[in-house]
Amino acid sequence: MPRAAPGEENAIVAGLRAGDPEALRRVVELYQGRIFALIYGIVRDSHEVEDIAQEVFLKVFTRIAAFDGRSSLYTWLYRVAANAAKDHLKRRSRRPALPLEDEAAIRDEGEGPAGSAEKEERRRLVREAIAALPTRYRTILVLRELEGLAYSEIAAVLEISEGTVESRLHRARARLKRSLESHAHG
């Protein structure tokens, strides 16, 4: 996915601060796909992703003054999106969670065409296991495994230390592994 070059990022930030809708259009153009994927990975409801993403981009436009430049615009945008998705989950906490639906979100190690039914079952089990994780573990897995962010980027997005990223990611993977193993043996 494309990211703004440093010079372009500075121009975008200046445009946002000036209230230029073209700057917002450029932010959406550059980051919409990744923001949608991040939000989906956290809330697991494809029907709500667009609304949350619109809220995120509106916040970016109206609250650009809160961006202090200590991180990249990209990192700040991810933080805004992750927080919006987590806030959404808090608001709907009494509603049942929906399983992950995005097949592309789960990495396929590839077997021959003969194993497609097995692969589909494995995908379903992984989706269910990820969906059952607590939000903080699901979020960290989405940022690292699906979005490919570095530990330092995850730390900036979630406003936690890199050590916390490492330990939370370890715990998330362990929980996911235990869940999948218990299903395989049960």
Q: Which of 62-66, 105-109, 132-136 has the lowest mean pLDDT?
A: 105-109
Is 0.75 topped by the overall pTM? no
pLDDT: is 186 or 33 the higher one? 33
Looking at the fold, whether 67 and 144 belong to one and the same domain comes out as no
Domain contains 168: yes
**Percentage with pLDDT > 70 across the chain:** 85
Query: Considering 60, 91, 122, which residue would you say is the last residue of a domain?
Result: 91
Q: Where are the alpha helices (DSSP H) in 44-65?
A: 46-62
What one-character DSSP code corresponds to residue 36?
Answer: H
Distance, in Å, from the CA atom of 175 to the CA atom of 153, rounded to the nearest integer, reads: 23
Looking at the fold, whether 109 and 179 belong to one and the same domain comes out as yes
Domain contains 34: yes
pLDDT per position as a tens digit, 13-40: 999 999 998 999 999 999 999 999 999 9
Query: Considering 26, 58, 91, which residue would you say is the last residue of a domain?
Result: 91
Distance, in Å, from the CA atom of 19 to the CA atom of 10, rounded to the nearest integer, reads: 14
